[in-house]
Amino acid sequence: MSESLFSKKNLKLIKDPLNDSNPITVQVLGICSALAITVKVETAFVMAVSVIAVTAGSNVIVSLLRNVIPSRIRIIVQLVIVASLVILVDQVLKAFVYDVSKQLSVFVGLIITNCIIMGRLEAFALANKPWASFMDGVGNGVGYGLILVIVAFFREIFGSGTLTLPGIGKIEILTSLAENTGYQHNGLMILPPMALITVGVYIWIQRSRNRKLIENH
Amino acid sequence: MKVLDDMMQKLKPKADGKFPLAYTVWDGMYTFLFVPGHTNKNGVHIKDGIDLKRTMVMVIIALIPALLFGIYNVGHQHFLAVGNVLQDAHVCEMFWDKFIFGALKVLPLIIVSYGVGLGIEFVFAAFNKHSIQEGFLVSGMLIPLIVPVDVPLWMVAVATIFAVIIGKEVFGGTGMNIVNVALTARAFLFFAYPTKMSGDEVWVSTTLEEGQQLVDGFSGATPLAKAVEGGTEALNNMNASVMESFIGFIPGSIGETSTLAIGLGALLLLITGIASWRIMLSTIVGGYVMAMLFNLWGANPFMELSPIHQLVIGGFAFGAVFMATDPVTGSQTNTGKYIYGFLIGVFAIMIRVFNPAYPEGMMLAILFMNIMAPLIDHYVVEANIKRRLKRVSVNA
d(CA B58, CA B319): 17
Tell me how far apart the terminal alpha carbons of chain B are, to the nearest angstrom. 65
Res B298: pLDDT: 82
DSSP B203: S
Q: Is B155 close to A189, i.e. CB distance below 8 A?
A: no
Closest partner residue to B192 among A182, A188, A200, by Cβ?
A: A188
Closest alpha carbon within chain B to A184: B193
Classify residue B60: in a domain, yes or no: yes
* CA-closest candidate to residue B310, choices B356, B352, B260: B352
For residue A197, list chain B residues with Cβ-Cβ distance below 8 A.
166
Which pLDDT score is estimated for B264? 94
Is residue B313 over pLDDT 90? Answer: no
Please tell me if residue A184 touches chain B, with a CB cutoff of 8 Å.
yes
Using a CB-CB cut-off of 8 Å, the residues of chain A touching B194 are 187
3-class state of residue B176 by DSSP: coil
Tally of CB atoms within 10 A around A76: 11
Listed in sequence order, the residues at least 6 apart from B18 whose beta carbon sits closer than 8 Å to its beta carbon are none
> Can you give the pLDDT at residue B10?
75
Whether residue B152 lies within 8 A of chain A, CB to CB, comes out as yes
Of B65, B63, B93, nearest in space to B79 by CA: B93
**Residue B129 phi/psi, 5° resolution?**
55, 45
Question: Confidence band (pLDDT; 50, 70, 90) for A152?
Answer: very high
pLDDT given for residue A149 in this prediction: 92
- Select the residue from A177, A184, A191, A194 to test the B interface by mutation, using most B Cβ atoms within 10 A: A184
Residue B321 pLDDT > 90: yes
Rounded mean pLDDT of B143-155?
91
CA–CA separation, A146 and A15 (whole Å): 12
Average pLDDT along chain B: 86
Shortest CB distance from B194 goes to which of A183, A187, A197? Answer: A187
Contacts of A6 (CB under 8 A, 6+ apart): none
Supply the Cα-derived Rg of chain A in whole angstroms. 19
Full-model pTM:
0.87
Give the range among A159-163, A166-170, B113-117 with minimum mean pLDDT: A166-170
B172 shares contact with chain A (CB less than 8 Å) = no
Q: How many CB atoms lie within 10 A of CB B61?
A: 13
Task: Give Dmax (Cα) for chain A.
Answer: 65
Q: What is the pLDDT of residues B344-378, one digit of tens each?
A: 999 999 998 888 777 778 999 999 999 999 999 99
The answer to whether the Cβ–Cβ distance between B191 and A191 falls below 8 Å is: yes
Model pLDDT for residues A81-130, shown as the tens digit of each residue: 999 999 999 999 999 988 888 888 788 888 888 888 988 899 899 999 99
Asked if pLDDT for residue A1 goes beyond 60, the answer is: no
A11 vs B109, higher pLDDT: B109
Across the interface, do B154 and A189 touch by the CB < 8 Å criterion? no
Looking at the complex, report in whole angstroms how far the Cα of residue A188 sits from the nearest Cα belonging to chain B.
4
Per-residue model confidence (pLDDT) at position B131: 73
Cross-chain Cβ contact B154/A188 below 8 Å:
no
| CA angle A163–A164–A167, rounded 5-degree value | 135
In a domain, B100, yes or no: yes
User: Could you give the number of structural domains in chain B?
Assistant: 1
Most A-contacting residue of B151, B168, B169, B193 (CB-CB within 10 A), to test interface:
B193
Which of chain B's residues have a Cβ under 8 Å away from the Cβ of A187? 191-194
**Residue B277 domain-assigned (yes or no):** yes
ipTM above 0.95, yes or no: no
Please compute the mean of the pLDDT values over residues B169-187 and round it to a whole number: 89
| Contact state of B192 with A197 under an 8 Å Cβ cutoff | no
Enter the DSSP assignment of B320: I
Q: Minimum mean pLDDT among A38-47, B5-14, B53-62, B328-337: which range?
A: B5-14
Q: In the prediction, which pLDDT does B17 show?
A: 60
Report the gap between the CA of B191 and the closest CA in chain A (Å): 5
Which amino acid, residue A187?
G
d(CA B282, CA B288): 10
Per-residue confidence (pLDDT) for residue A2, from 0 to 100 = 58
Measure Cα distances from B148 to B40, B59, B256, B319, B375 in Å.
45, 22, 10, 15, 33
Q: B154: nearest CA in chain A?
A: A183
Q: CA B132, CA B154: separation in Å to the nearest integer?
A: 25
Which chain A residues are within 8 Å of B202, Cβ to Cβ?
none
Q: Where are the alpha helices (DSSP H) in B85-203?
A: 95-128, 136-145, 153-162, 181-192, 194-197
How distant is the Cα of B154 from the closest Cα of chain A, in angstroms? 9
- Cβ(A66)–Cβ(A126) below 8 Å: yes
Residue B190, classed as helix, strand or coil, is: helix
Rg of chain B, C-alpha, whole Å: 23
CB contacts < 8 A, A to B, total 24
Whole-number percent of chain B with pLDDT over 90? 41
Start-to-end C-alpha separation, chain A: 43
Is residue B43 in some structural domain? no
What's residue B15's pLDDT? Answer: 62
Query: Measured at the alpha carbon of residue B212, what is the angle toward residues B210 and B215, in degrees to the nearest 5?
Result: 165
Inspect the interface and report whether the beta carbons of B193 and A184 lie closer than 8 Å: yes
Identify the closest residue of chain B to A204 by CA–CA distance: B170
CB count in 10 Å sphere of residue A9:
11
The pLDDT of B138-157, averaged and rounded, is: 92
Residues spanned by the domain of B61? 52-208+222-379
Give the pLDDT mean for B130-139: 79
Q: Is B154 an 8 Å CB contact of chain A?
A: yes
φ and ψ at residue B240, rounded to 5 degrees: -130, 50
